[in-house]
Chain A
Amino acid sequence: MKSVDEVADAMYEMVKDAQAVKKKLKPMDLTKAMIATYGDEVDKKLCKAAIKELINSGRCVYTYFGGSFIEIPHREGAAND
């Protein structure tokens, strides 16, 4: 089995790549991608723990734009300074 950190790192790269092309990913998108990539080496529980790790460490944040997504922290478009 992969470790939580390994999966979290892979998820982080996915989020970063998606954000570069202005695409937003939901937690289930990440989970499905990890299962597709690593097969039996990951499961949903591990992916959930990896997402938790990404959020708790502050490397990623939850965002809401009609639905909830996972993104790398960035300045809010609507924000007033």
Chain B
Amino acid sequence: MADNLPKTPQLDELEKGGWPSFVKEIKMAAKGSPMAVDLLGQLEQSYTEKIGHWKHGGIVGVMGYGGGVIGRYSDLPDKWPNISHFHTMRINQPSGWYYTSDALRKLCDIWERHGSGLTNMHGSTGDIILLGTRTEELEPTFEELAKIDFDIGGSGSDLRTPSCCCGQSRCEWACYDTMGACYDLTMHYQDELHRPAFPYKFKFKFSGCPNDCVASIARADLSFLGTWRDDIRIDQDAVREYVDRGMDINEEVISRCPGNCMEFDGKELHIENSFCKRCMHCINIMPKALRPGTDTGATILIGSKAPIIEGALLSSVLIPFYKMEPPYDDLKELIEEIWDVWAEEGKNRERVGEFIQRVGMGNFLDAIGLDPVPEMVAHPRENPYVFFEEDEDEDEDEG
């Protein structure tokens, strides 16, 4: 079959250089996949004509589910018949993206039987992306995946597949069990994941510490960022060792502290923890000497999104500190309050962050029944967006 590959001079350029090449991978798949052969042909044609040749489908899916299958059809089905249907399936990844090699082999075998054999590990939301299959293969693929304990993920106006960093399984900075929380909420909200009922997409992302390896603060409608509320742990001997080995602690650590809360007197490092912004810079630079505190949990933030309908937003603080311990009942109550208000009042294709911008954070907090606190800020120690009413000030004065 590889001998029958269409000529692809433009795609061939993308095989050059030191980077991994999707063209190389599609050509490898084309040795056994007629879909991959036609995909190369159509893609080359698109590059030549500078025209995309995909049509979007909006109905295909598996019985009972409203998400997880993205319909695609070629607009040149006579010329490239093997990709006349080329639907994508999003499959819920395991928490932390841990697989056994056996599970990966089974996944790939299923996809070679029912689809193009091409995958994208992983999509930007975190799902396993299975690229290219026909409508009649969707149900059989779904059934086979279910037998090896994989389920379809989210798409459309639903809860998108939650994702998390590897958390406490590998990372010493993780302030809570990200994988446990991600799994718990994924299982609890199966209806919301598979049955779109929201104005638009909604994402949870769980990061174990403020380094935010899954970029939850920039991409998740509800971001769970690990943090601590006691003091940074300091090993003063290890601090001195860094300095003795040539680290310019003032230049590399202290002058870069956004809270200006550190001081080194030549022997000991002092941190005024009440001014610490939990940026992780000092801990990242001196991992042998500094560690997060021991009273750990998460800061829960709301409202970030990438630019699609409107511009990008970063999350802002909703709950300054939450212990993140199962069964997360009060957290689930809050999430459902947020969904209730947004689903009822949100406009079509309006993310929750945009909704909050439109109605105002004060009104939003009122609607979900959450009292404002001073830590609800857009940036640490800057721009408080909660404005207390005059009568509240007076009440406090009187009190």
Q: Which residues of A contact B (CB under 8 A)?
A: 26-28, 32, 44, 48, 51-52, 55-56, 58, 61-68, 71, 73-74, 76, 78-80
Contact = CB atoms under 8 A, between A and B. Distances in A.
A75 to B, nearest CB: 8
Contacts of B77: 80
A4 to B, nearest CB: 15
A68 to B, nearest CB: 3
A80 B84 contact: yes
Contacts of B64: 55-56
B58 A67 contact: no
B197 A28 contact: yes
B157 interface: yes
Contacts of B344: 28, 32
Contact of A51 (B56, B156, B195): B195
Contacts of B104: none
Nearest to B155: A64
A48 B84 CA distance: 36
Interface residue SS majority, chain A: mixed
Nearest to A56: B64
Contacts, number: 86
19 contacts: A28-B197, A55-B195, A58-B63, A61-B59, A62-B61, A62-B67, A62-B156, A64-B58, A64-B66, A64-B157, A65-B58, A66-B348, A71-B59, A73-B59, A76-B71, A78-B57, A78-B73, A79-B73, A79-B135
Contacts of B57: 76, 78-79
B349 interface: yes
Given A64-B66, A65-B58, A68-B158, 17 more contacts: A28-B344, A51-B195, A52-B195, A55-B66, A56-B64, A58-B63, A62-B156, A63-B58, A64-B58, A64-B71, A67-B156, A67-B199, A73-B59, A76-B57, A76-B58, A78-B73, A79-B135
B203 interface: no
A78 B54 CA distance: 10
Interface string B257-294: 00000000000000000000000000000000000000
A62 B195 contact: yes
A12 B195 CA distance: 17
B195 to A, nearest CB: 7
Contact of A74 (B59, B71, B191): B59
Contact of A68 (B84, B85, B156): B156
Contact of A78 (B55, B67, B158, B348): B55
A67 B55 contact: no
Contacts of A71: 59
The 3 A-B residue pairs with the shortest CB-CB distance in the complex, in nearest-first order:
A62-B66, A68-B196, A68-B157
Contacts of B195: 27, 51-52, 55, 62
A26 B197 CA distance: 7
Contacts of A61: 59, 61, 66
B311 to A, nearest CB: 19
A44 to B, nearest CB: 8
A73 B71 CA distance: 15
B85 A27 contact: no
B343 interface: yes
Contact of A76 (B59, B157, B199, B340): B59
Contact of A27 (B55, B196, B340): B196
B6 to A, nearest CB: 20
B119 interface: no
Contacts of B157: 26, 64, 67-68
